[in-house]
Amino acid sequence: DLVNSKELLERARAGGYALGGFNIHNQETIQAVVEAGFEHRAPVILQATPGTVKYTGSDLLVAMARALAIRANVPIVLHLDHATDLELIEECVKAGFTSVMFDGSRLKWEENIRLTRWVVGLAHSKGLTVEAELGRIGGQEEVTIVSDSEVNYTDPGDARRFVQETGVDSLAIAIGTAHGVYKNEPKLDLQRLEAIALAVNVPLVLHGASGVPDAAITRSISLGISKINIATDLKLALAAALRSALLAKPEENDPRRYFAKARGEVKNVVSQKMRLFGIEGRA
């Protein structure tokens, strides 16, 4: 069955590798991620944003993830990504998600602490793990747009206090990555990452990792990142494959034909990321 991310992330942190938090959007992308996990004997974090939960339904996401967890026989986490709405968190907890992110990064310090604590209380009572965010990560993730001037890198001392006061299981930090496609190559503040990793005793999460050069990813893992979120690179692969399949054969009307290849392309990207994150064989 599905598991929470506690032990998987602690093991990644101790072992110097990272789990992928792969954003999924439909059945085909869920299958692509799980199949890659199966082939590489890698634990898998499937993550759905609030928009994906609305699109597919929390019940259906849980049912698909559970069925695939049985087939794949590798640990699978179903994680709610970037939730800001407490009711949606309650719904996903009830439905059978095993991990949630409460994103209070736009809130004032006190309010972020208060609501994150509330989520931790609820989630822990049901055996789920909680990720929170401190600082502000740039770019656009669905409806959340953070402009360059609103970006706020995570302060190591604040991160330490935040983790102590909230009891979160992992922390998403802002060190120069951004959601979506980069206009210029991102510069990660690795010194800051090092300082945060020393100050904080829970696994750290890197968001906005699509488009970050491989060398920077490897370096960030060695400095203390234990979970890496990938959404855009999977969306780009899916869209490109569907577009080319439909354009190549405009008369094709069998969705299984054009989706099968696209699903394979998403799986290839997930496989590359798994190798890069050092997570092969860790299941």
Listing DSSP states for 225-238 in one string gives EEEEEE-HHHHHHH
Residue in this structure with the two tokens 């692969």, named with its chain if needed: 237
Q: Binding string, 34-73, against ligand 13P, x = CB under 6 A?
A: ----------------------------------------
Does the annotation place 166 within a ligand binding site?
Answer: no
Q: How far apart are the first and last CA of the chain?
A: 14
**Restricting to residues 11-30, which ones interact with ligand 13P according to CB under 6 A?**
23
Q: Does 50 bind Na ion (CB under 5 A)?
A: no
Catalytic residue among 1, 59, 81, 158, which? 81
- Pairing status of strand 144-146 against strand 138-141: antiparallel
Q: Does 179 bind ligand 13P (CB under 6 A)?
A: yes
Cβ within 8 Å of residue 29, ≥6 positions away: 234, 238, 263, 266
What is the crossing angle of helices 27-39 and 58-72, to 10°? 20
d(CA 23, CA 61): 12
Q: Which stretch binds Na ion (CB under 5 A): 34-42, 108-116, 118-126, 206-214?
A: 206-214
Q: Which stretch binds Na ion (CB under 5 A): 102-110, 194-202, 207-215, 243-251?
A: 207-215
- Residues of this chain that bind Na ion (CB under 5 A): 208, 210-211
- Binding-site residue set: 82, 103, 133, 179-180, 207-210, 229-232
Q: Footprint of ligand 13P on this chain (CB under 6 A)?
A: 23, 81-82, 141, 179-180, 207-210, 229-233
Tell me which residues are annotated as active site.
Answer: 81
